[in-house]
A and B are shown apart, each in its own frame.
Chain A
Amino acid sequence: MKNSDILTCFQCGACTGSCPSGRYTSLNVRRIIKDSIKKDISDQMDLWMCTTCYNCQERCPRGIKVTDAILSLRAEAVKKGHILQAHRSVCKFLLETGHAVPIDDIHIKIREKIGLSEPETVRKYPKALNDVKTLLESTGFNELIK
């Protein structure tokens, strides 16, 4: 990994001790930081158990941007094709609708019942949705998640 910041880690474990996910899962942030310096850990599921709560980053005595490092490691994993099915679905929703969580018929009706019209979001404006799609194509996002 190209993040020189993490080379200053002295393996104290404050990150792991602060991790709400690590309490229940195999996620061990201290080990991720250590391993990522020496080898490719793109295929490790643990990377995706982080809720990005930033406790580790806040408490790191070396001031390492630990959560940001995990995000970079995830980006490397995604480039190598390690994408969980559920995340791929969320990405497809964004590509098709401009929303990670698109509206459905039930919620259109609920909105009507409480006196709200259609949301003033990209969904209501075809040109705006087209703009979003143009940008996602321009950055290569549709290719990335294929």
Chain B
Amino acid sequence: MKELSLYLGCLIPNRYPGIEKATKLVLERLGIKWSELKEASCCPAPGVFRSFDQTTWLTLASRNIVLGEEKNTDILTICNGCFSTLKDANNILKNDISIRAQVNDHLKKIDIKYQGTIEIRHIIEFLDKEIGTKKINQLIERPLELRVAVHYGCHLLKPTKERKLGGAEYPVFFDRLVEATGAISVPYEGKNSCCGAGGGVRSAMLETSLKMTEYKLQRMKKAGVDCIVEACPFCHLQYDSGQVELAKAGKVFEIPVIHYSQLLGMALGYSFEEVGLHLNATRNLEFESKVARIQKRDASIK
């Protein structure tokens, strides 16, 4: 297995830098060899750009992949959208010689060439396959004992024929990673339903996208969860900002939204602020004092 280049995308560095910080802390603590993928652009996002023009989407994606190829590293994504674009583009370019030639004609103008020598990884499947829940569990310093609504997000799993991470109806690998931190993955109705953000729907039809978000939040609330854990900054944004937008219409949920890097970071001993959770738009003081109590208790035991 190659070393990893961390690909940031847009939303994480530019809207939720706490997730970037938490991811870097976690990679260090787990002893994973990584470096930044410098000079990368937008993946580009699958919803709008893949819809608009396949050649543009593939060409820009291939430039990002080549940045990894030049370092001879695999690319680690921490966003389902980036994973979807880079992995699908990599598959298409590896397997279709004529499309690859077409893309390389464009890349020639900036003196680079796509070779097809690296893999695209997503932090969840990477941790599950390469590190494993057993090792993660052994490293946990503060089991958080939270009741978690796990949200896989569509593009981590689907299309299943491309992702090859198992079925999309009853997936388990993300749940077991969450439970490795000492949390409980709580079943809830509509667990595999979309957050509502993708496909350019959030940007062009906010109200429609929020109806799908509300559907999810209602069912999470009914299941009595403490928080949502996802692995995609677009789902994170949709749940986090979405709850502020829904609250304006009198629909109040106050369910904290946590990227897996942030949950794992806290379980490894970093504070709520160190993993950037104080930067969320949706705050829940009851939840925050519960986390503080757990962290204080564990600190006093040590």
- Knowing A51-B154, A90-B203, say if A135 contacts B107 (CB, 8 Å): yes
Give the contacts of B215-235 with A (CB-CB under 8 A).
215
Q: Find out whether the CB atom of A75 lies under 8 angstroms from the CB atom of B159.
A: no
- Which residues of chain A have C-beta atoms less than 8 A from B56's C-beta? 135-136, 139-141, 144
Contact pattern, B 1-35, Cβ under 8 Å of A = 1, otherwise 0: 00000001011011101101100000000000000
Closest-by-CB residue of A relative to B110 is: A131
Q: How far is the CB of A3 from chain B (nearest CB, A)?
A: 13
Interface check B247, CB cutoff 8 A = no
Q: Which of B46-54, B116-124, B135-143, B290-298 contacts A (4 or more CB under 8 A)?
A: B46-54
Q: What's the dominant secondary structure at chain B's contact region? A: helix
Interface check B196, CB cutoff 8 A = yes
Chain B: interface residue total (CB-CB under 8 A) = 61
Interface check A7, CB cutoff 8 A = no
Q: Which of A9-17, A35-43, A117-125 contacts B (4 or more CB under 8 A)?
A: A117-125
CA distance A99 to B82 in the complex (A): 12
Q: Find out whether the CB atom of B168 lies under 8 angstroms from the CB atom of A58.
A: yes
- Which residues of chain A have C-beta atoms less than 8 A from B265's C-beta? none
- Which residues of chain A have C-beta atoms less than 8 A from B154's C-beta? 51-55
Q: How far is the CB of B271 from chain A (nearest CB, A)?
A: 12
Q: Find out whether the CB atom of B208 lies under 8 angstroms from the CB atom of A49.
A: yes
- Which residues of chain A have C-beta atoms less than 8 A from B133's C-beta? none
Interface check B158, CB cutoff 8 A = yes
- Knowing A20-B215, A103-B14, A134-B109, say if A98 contacts B41 (CB, 8 Å): yes
Q: Find out whether the CB atom of A101 lies under 8 angstroms from the CB atom of B10.
A: yes
Set A54, A101, A104: member contacting B158, Cβ < 8 A: A54
- Knowing A94-B44, A115-B21, A125-B39, say if A23 contacts B215 (CB, 8 Å): yes
Q: Find out whether the CB atom of B160 lies under 8 angstroms from the CB atom of A102.
A: no
Q: How far is the CB of A97 from chain B (nearest CB, A)?
A: 9
- Which residues of chain A have C-beta atoms less than 8 A from B36's C-beta? 120
Q: Find out whether the CB atom of B203 lies under 8 angstroms from the CB atom of A51.
A: no
- Which residues of chain A have C-beta atoms less than 8 A from B208's C-beta? 21, 24-25, 49
CA distance A58 to B167 in the complex (A): 9
Q: How far is the CB of B88 from chain A (nearest CB, A)?
A: 10
Q: Find out whether the CB atom of B50 lies under 8 angstroms from the CB atom of A120.
A: no
Set B48, B109, B110, B197: member contacting A51, Cβ < 8 A: B197
Q: Find out whether the CB atom of B10 lies under 8 angstroms from the CB atom of A99.
A: yes
Q: Find out whether the CB atom of B196 lies under 8 angstroms from the CB atom of A20.
A: yes
Closest-by-CB residue of A relative to B202 is: A51
Enumerate the 10 nearest inter-chain pairs by beta-carbon distance, A residue then B residue, closest first: A119-B13, A54-B158, A128-B39, A52-B199, A98-B41, A74-B51, A53-B194, A103-B14, A51-B198, A101-B10
New A-B pairs, 5, CB < 8 Å, besides A48-B200, A116-B21: A50-B199, A52-B198, A91-B52, A115-B21, A122-B39
